[in-house]
Amino acid sequence: MAFIHPFEGYLLAAERAGAVVAPLYDSLTADERRRYADAHPDNYLNAMRTAEELASDPASDLPALLDRNASYVRRCIDDGTFLAQPPCVFVYRLACPGHVQHGVVAEMPIGAYLDGRIKRHELTRVAREDALAGYIDHVRAASSPVCLAYRADDGIRERVDAATRSRAGLSHTSADGVEHDVWMLDGADASALIAAFDRVSTAYLTDGHHRCAAMARFSAFGAGARLLVALFPDDELRILPYHRVVSDLGSHTAESFIARLAEDFTVERLPDGEPDAARPRARGECAVHVDGGWFRFRLAGGEASGPDPVAALDTAMLQAQVLGPVFGITDPRGDERLGYVDGAGGLGALENACRGQWRAAFALYPTSMGELVAVADAGAVMPPKSTWFDPKPRSGFFLHDPLRLYER
């Protein structure tokens, strides 16, 4: 069974990239997405409107919102914003200062998720699955690739490198400075790259757990539904930390909180005005910002992995050793006192968070690709928000019907 299949769908017209390619979806609140889409009617965010926006638009209802999404997609196909492609695969390069990664965009049957060739490491929420399944069924369009990691392969890399020696057919630099370049391969070149992936037996989900779970809803009568995927070699991916913030210190003052930490850990006060000095330097090291100052300490057990790949994660150790016993935060998925800040903004973003609604911020060392693989191979689940892959593919480059084969 082929590991990947040709892409059959549409590619964004190169001259339309500036207007259509969406900003990073997860970096915006629902209200920010609504306002951005309203202000940029050609942007692909207008195909991604969600029920979260209904509170801001009480005259709408969900079917009307989904109709609006579908109308945007149909308009973009009819007016040539998206152009039909022959069966093909794409090489998709993302570059930002100090980092480059090369993905292959193709299709995979949902059966690869159901039979375990696509391995997961996160739990999904039923309500989110429901919303995405309704969107897929109604809009019949996917533009946000499910992102997968595979063990780097020299044969695949040689073919990807060969493709990128020519000029990209589509190039765009997003507002955050990430360069996006796309090459299309069809015919024998596409077949050779697809065949090279037959040596890959397993891929690891890095982004798209809910999309996969939602697509699995359409597998009752077979596995014909297709995922739009972007596959990246594991040695090119960059994982940034996912930090934690808390809205209150419980019964503690800042002073008594640090004193409580010092009962279990060696706590070091760091120089003021130098947030980069607080950046964790190794697994198990953690820093906390509270009351304007930074303090460093080392989590117990962080020096080496234990037999449980989840318990050995820094995110799990912080939860077990600090967030639970000190603050009484026992449900990291549902406790509203706990928040998350991705590592893209550096430690300055944590200081800013503490100037707003958050009382303290914990800076963590990033989870490694090896740790993710160990958890997924064990069939286990990471704590929420354990990884932030950067840079991320954007919506608006590719377009396909994920149910195209399902109804045959």
What are the pLDDT digits (tens) for 95-140?
999 999 999 999 999 999 999 999 999 999 999 999 999 999 999 9
Give mean pLDDT, residues 58-81: 90
On whether both 84 and 68 belong to a single domain, the answer is yes
Instruction: Decide if 334 is inside a domain.
Output: yes
Instruction: Decide if 405 is inside a domain.
Output: no
Predicted local distance difference test score (pLDDT) of residue 51: 86
Read off the pLDDT of residues 281-309 as tens digits, 9 standing for 90 and up: 999 999 999 999 999 999 997 555 567 89
Predicted local distance difference test score (pLDDT) of residue 404: 79
pLDDT of residue 224 exceeding 80: no
Give mean pLDDT, residues 369-396: 96
Predicted local distance difference test score (pLDDT) of residue 408: 47
pTM of the model: 0.93
Q: Which residue has the higher pLDDT, 307 or 373?
A: 373
On whether both 167 and 256 belong to a single domain, the answer is no
On whether both 105 and 211 belong to a single domain, the answer is yes
On whether both 375 and 261 belong to a single domain, the answer is yes
Instruction: Decide if 178 is inside a domain.
Output: yes
Predicted local distance difference test score (pLDDT) of residue 80: 98
27: pLDDT confidence band, cut at 50, 70 and 90? confident
Instruction: Decide if 1 is inside a domain.
Output: no
pLDDT of residue 57 exceeding 80: no
Give mean pLDDT, residues 215-231: 82
pLDDT of residue 58 exceeding 80: no
**Overall number of domains in the chain:** 2
Give mean pLDDT, residues 58-82: 90
pLDDT above 90 covers what percent of the chain?
A: 86
On whether both 264 and 190 belong to a single domain, the answer is no
On whether both 244 and 229 belong to a single domain, the answer is no
Domain that holds residue 136: 10-238+391-399
Predicted local distance difference test score (pLDDT) of residue 220: 62
List the one residue out of 124, 118, 178, 179 whose CA is nearest residue 149: 118
Give mean pLDDT, residues 52-77: 84
On whether both 192 and 270 belong to a single domain, the answer is no
178: pLDDT confidence band, cut at 50, 70 and 90? very high
Beta-bridge partner residues of 228 = 107
- Measuring CA to CA, how many Å separate 75 from each of 37, 60, 87, 402? 15, 21, 22, 18
Q: Which residue has the higher pLDDT, 218 or 102?
A: 102
On whether both 21 and 89 belong to a single domain, the answer is yes
CATH code for the domain of 65: 3.90.1530.10
Predicted local distance difference test score (pLDDT) of residue 360: 98
Instruction: Decide if 187 is inside a domain.
Output: yes
On whether both 190 and 315 belong to a single domain, the answer is no
Cβ neighbours for 226, distance < 8 A, ≥ 6 positions apart: 5, 107, 108, 109, 110, 400, 402, 404, 405
